[in-house]
Amino acid sequence: MLAVKVRGVASHSDTHRVARSLVLGLLGRARGGVIELREPGGGVVRLGRPSDDPLHAVLEVRSPAFYRRLVRGSSGLAEAYVDGLWTSPDLVTLIRIGARNGEAMDRPRRLLRPFVAPVRAVGRARNTIARSRKQISAHYDLGNDLFALFLDERMMYSAAIFPRPGATLEEAALHKIDVVCRRLDLQPRDHLLEIGTGWGALAVHAADEYGCRVTTATISREQHDLAVERVRAAGLDDRVEVVLDDYRELRGTYDKLVSIEMIEAVGWKDFGTFFARCSELLAPDGLMLLQAITTSDRAYDVEKGNRSFIATRVFPGGCLPSSKVIARCVDGRTDMRAIAVHDISGHYAETLRHWRERFDARRDELPALGYDERFARLWELYLAYCEAGFRERRIRDVQVLLAKPQWRGEAAAMAGRADALEAA
């Protein structure tokens, strides 16, 4: 196609040149690392600035259309990767450089927020029970065989805790489950409520090893059915009940409550509702452990209205809370108080490394399960994106222990700082 201008309209080539100039200008200001950008035709451009802890990454552009996509932010970046317009031999390092420049990238979005937020708010309705079921199904009901490819044998889809360097993923996943049970000070007399079943690993372990009763709730049909099978196989039908209920549908009173990385699917408009409901379900002397992926307060103000590729193509409707948002909801909507906070972000980076490497090692099995190359590339980017975020502390993972007014226990988690929630 000839590059021409018709009646003042920019040609395809002009658009490409402008987009390329914008992208190179943006990447050229990056600090904390150097990006070696390899363009079609053999051209190489070195961008960025090294630091005391420099990173080096290669970005291979396979099509000039990459530049126009990248102007649209993370969604454009992801679409371009899924379409094969660019690649990198080390996605994690490349995204880590981006994470190191996150504050600078957020600044213009914060300035624009007062103008775009009202428009986006119209499309960001509350997560009703029906909408939540649909959104959860879009991710967790993709198929148990998919998750079995890269998770540990218990299929724990949350940060593991590695008891020592060199521990296997299986050891770390089991150790995390046991840490949760000990921090909750589970006793045989307790009735534990779990909001967010996963595939039943924590419920089975708590009932089998600590002798308590467990009610565990999920709104994923795939997870529910496999969890029921695992409870039955463990011979724990009399102590574990798996229910297909939203947290807003739960009734009863429980001694202990646990929710592991489920709050990210609640939606920012309903964080207060979630904590209020948890408090209502707990006995006056109850204890709750929340494990949550969090973002900074400044990033939260941007992300809650942002349509990133993870919020649209991986976890529809999801939003990460900030620690201050959690603190405000606990103080304003419940009678609970935070008694301990533990930051396990480093463990999540290592967990994601294991998941990413396992996913890559079994990638050739995806077509037989019905997943095409575009899906594989999307999930490859998703896992690398999250790992990079945790390695650079762009996002964090915390375990928060919350107590009701009449709790007088001495749980193992009291070793944590009781005043650390907002600081976390």
Q: Which residues are catalytic?
A: 386
Residue 339, phi then psi, degrees to nearest 5:
-110, -10
| Cα–Cα separations (whole angstroms), residue 352 to 15, 27, 77, 100 | 38, 26, 21, 19
Q: How far apart are CA 23 and CA 254, in angstroms?
A: 54
As beta bridge partners, residue 402 has: 288, 338
Helices 102-123, 91-100: axis angle to 10 degrees equals: 90
Q: Which of 287, 290, 265, 278 is nearest to 344 (CA)?
A: 290
**C-beta of residue 68 within 8 angstroms of C-beta of residue 16:** yes
Token pair recorded at residue 272: 């207060």
Residue from 138, 68, 74 nearest 299 by CA: 74
Question: Tokens 């695992």, residue?
Answer: 230
Output phi, psi for 399, to 5 deg: -110, 120
- Residue 162 DSSP SS3: coil
DSSP letter, residue 125: -
Query: Which single residue is written with the structure tokens 């709104």?
Result: 219
d(CA 21, CA 18): 5
Strands 191-195 and 213-217, how do they pair?
parallel
Which run of H or of E encompasses 59? strand 55-61
The two three-digit tokens of residue 392, written as one number: 């650079």
